[in-house]
Structure 1
Amino acid sequence: MESMGDVLRSMNNSELRQRSRALEDSLFNNPLIKKLQADHPELEESRWKLNISRLYQYVEDNNHCSNCPGLEKCPNDFPGHFSKLTVEAVNGSPDLYERKTPCSLKIAKDKENSIRKRIRSFYVDERVLNEGYNLVDIIGKDKERAKDVKLIFQYINETKARGLVPQGLYLYGGFGVGKTFLMCYLLHELAVAGYSGVIVYMPDFIEDLKSIMLEGQKLKETVETLKNCDVLIFDDIGAENLNPWARDHVLGAILNYRMNRKPTFYTSNYPLEGLEKHLSFTSKDGEEVYKGQRLMDRIAPFVEVIPLHGENQRGRARG
């Protein structure tokens, strides 16, 4: 393919002037440019002609946006942005100014990224957090759980309206009824409202603490993150193999700090009574009832209990 320089060198001055006039006429007859000129009669003709490159970019970006191939394939020079032209007076003289403006897809993408930055997960499948949510699907998938789901919606709406309160939710029920999914939905909605959040899959978290405890700084940073995030979810609590150190010095310290400060949420197969029995037993020291009760004193008073009913949805196609 010939370079632009070769093309120009092959054309004589007459051809260049003719081609230039044709491009200029086409540009100033474009409906977008005609409307812009009609809206700004104060701008002299000479200023329009001095800004031909900006006018051309404005038309080209608009054409690309009218046939948008999606954000990932955006053909504009500055992907996700289009040229916006305004006429502004500087020192009393109007002139044409160009600004690169994010399109609606770019704005939505940036908003989505900012929401995700507010959410951290430990050992939770990222697909659960990123697959999106459909309210009709959440409510209508299983009518047996509809009443319980509405309580979660109510909590989200009240938090958005009034702000965070120290009381969280304790969601328990059988396998596959949607406990984790609903807590991820809650986490996402509160992140949209500006709150930071963390979800922790307890069985893997407790198991991994054995190695983290050897890295003092990493352990400190992890505990501080769980203490200070706005929204903390312990997913599948009761399924972990507890040891006294993890229970008393990690989980206990986190809950002791958060109670009366920030809400903590839980999903479990156990009702509260069953969770207390679980927390009273460790593989090393056996049953220690008072330690289980001590931890429950930092859980039970600070949650609304929601028994989630319904059918096991695992392995079923979503729809």
Structure 2
Amino acid sequence: MESLGDLLKAMPGGRNIRQHADKLMADLLADPLVAKLRAKYPELDESTIRLNMNRVYQCTQEYRNCSNCQGLDQCPNDFEGHYTELSCETVGGLVQLTDRKVTCKKLIARQSEDRIRSRIRSFYMDERALSHGYSVDEIFSRDAERMKSVLQVISYIDRTKEEGLQPEGLYLSGSFGTGKTFLMCYMLHELAKTGLTGAIVYMPEFVEDMKTLMLEQGKVKETVDMLKETDLLIFDDIGAENLNPWVRDHVLGAILNYRMNRKPTFYTSNYSLDDIEQHFSFTNKDGDDEHRGQRLMDRIRHYVQPVHVTGHNKRGRSK
């Protein structure tokens, strides 16, 4: 931002500098913002303003920049996302003008949003699903057909805000593209505002990654421990993965065994609870194994509230 000193340097030399300085002083005294400042601090006289012309000029310019804000990325103020605030006090009979930098509302909102996002981790997810922000109006208006499921998710969010972590999670099932992941990201975003941590895991890629790490137990343990401890855990698109017995029993099973009765786990799937049990009962290596599939389902079925999400396929649409 151009300072008062820059303006004076750009002017011709000699007596004209004093004349221009007097003109700038007169403009400041006539400025409604300065008049408002003097009304707040009656002791602020013209001599004090003249001694602090640069501060007063900067304050008026930054105030107008903020009034016509084009967004943080285009902030012209010297300190992005901040403006100068002036105050006045009398010390030992002398009037002193002091300034301080104040964080603007847009930067406060961005910092708050950054803190919210820092509480959420994603594995193999498109970050745009978590970064674009959400509104209640958007959640309700996206598709009237899924209103019942939306109300169930919002009711769960409100209950968690009032009572803290719930003993049960949610199991969102439904056709492709009906917004199951969108609703879970919305839930994460809302509950992260309360200080809860969360993680969302895209199951097909997560399972393949775990298979490649079978011999690197340190990395596997680090990931498993994190997923055990996060407040809110979402397994996205469960049932679309190509399970093997080790991932099913020693990764997924270990996580769910730890979390049941401790912290809620959430799922999105194109399969119902009954269908997903059949999926868990079959692996490419061992074929059918109903006992192990049922064992895993015991750690899911009894710790979720089923939510059936209906509506139109929104993939490829802007909303």
Tell me the TM-score normalised to structure 2 length: 0.90
Q: Using the alignment, how far apart are the partners of 2:149 and 2:76 within structure 1? A: 47
Q: Using the alignment, how far apart are the partners of 1:19 and 1:142 within structure 2? A: 63
Aligned to 1:103: 104
CA shift at 1:142, angstroms?
3.0
- Structure 1 residues without counterparts, runs of 5 or longer: none
Structure-to-structure mapping, 1:178-193, within 5 angstroms: 178-193=179-194
Q: Report % sequence identity.
A: 55
Structure-to-structure mapping, 1:8-23, within 5 angstroms: 11-12=13-14, 14-23=15-24
CA shift at 1:165, angstroms?
1.5
Per-residue CA deviations over 1:280-311 (Å, capped at 9, x if unaligned) read 22211222222122212211111111122223
Contact 1:87 1:95 in 2 (8 A): yes
CA shift at 1:263, angstroms?
0.9
Moved more, 16-25 or 70-79: 16-25
Moved more, 39-48 or 194-203: 39-48
Distance 1:77 1:236, change over 3 A: same
CA shift at 1:148, angstroms?
1.8
Matched, 1:26 2:36: no
Aligned-partner SS, 2:42: coil
Task: Give the letter aligned to residue 40 of structure 2.
Answer: D
Q: Using the alignment, how far apart are the partners of 1:142 and 1:26 within structure 2? A: 56
Q: Using the alignment, how far apart are the partners of 1:278 and 1:146 within structure 2? A: 29
Distance 1:170 1:10, change over 3 A: closer
Structure-to-structure mapping, 1:287-302, within 5 angstroms: 287-302=288-303
Q: Using the alignment, how far apart are the partners of 2:254 and 2:45 within structure 1? A: 71
Moved more, 118-127 or 133-142: 133-142
Per-residue CA deviations over 1:62-112 (Å, capped at 9, x if unaligned) read 121222222111110001111111224668966322111111211111111
Aligned to 1:38: 39
Contact 1:198 1:231 in 2 (8 A): yes
Structure-to-structure mapping, 1:1-319, within 5 angstroms: 11-12=13-14, 14-43=15-44, 45-88=46-89, 95-318=96-319
Moved more, 113-122 or 86-95: 86-95
Q: How many residues align?
A: 315
Distance 1:9 1:26, change over 3 A: closer
CA shift at 1:134, angstroms?
4.2
Distance 1:91 1:196, change over 3 A: farther
Task: Give the letter aligned to residue 121 of structure 2.
Answer: R
Moved more, 165-174 or 42-51: 42-51
Aligned-partner SS, 2:160: helix
Q: Using the alignment, how far apart are the partners of 2:50 and 2:41 within structure 1? A: 14
Distance 1:250 1:8, change over 3 A: closer
Task: Give the letter aligned to residue 82 of structure 1.
Answer: Y
CA shift at 1:266, angstroms?
0.4
Contact 1:119 1:191 in 2 (8 A): yes
CA shift at 1:218, angstroms?
2.7
Contact 2:65 2:77 in 1 (8 A): yes
Distance 1:89 1:292, change over 3 A: farther
Contact 1:169 1:303 in 2 (8 A): yes
Q: Using the alignment, how far apart are the partners of 2:7 and 2:135 within structure 1? A: 55
Q: Using the alignment, how far apart are the partners of 1:273 and 1:179 within structure 2? A: 18
Per-residue CA deviations over 1:150-187 (Å, capped at 9, x if unaligned) read 11110011111221112110111121221111111111
CA RMSD after TM alignment: 2.4
Aligned-partner SS, 1:261: coil
Q: Using the alignment, how far apart are the partners of 1:7 and 1:45 within structure 2? A: 23
Task: Give the letter aligned to residue 37 of structure 1.
Answer: R
- Structure 2 residues without counterparts, runs of 5 or longer: none
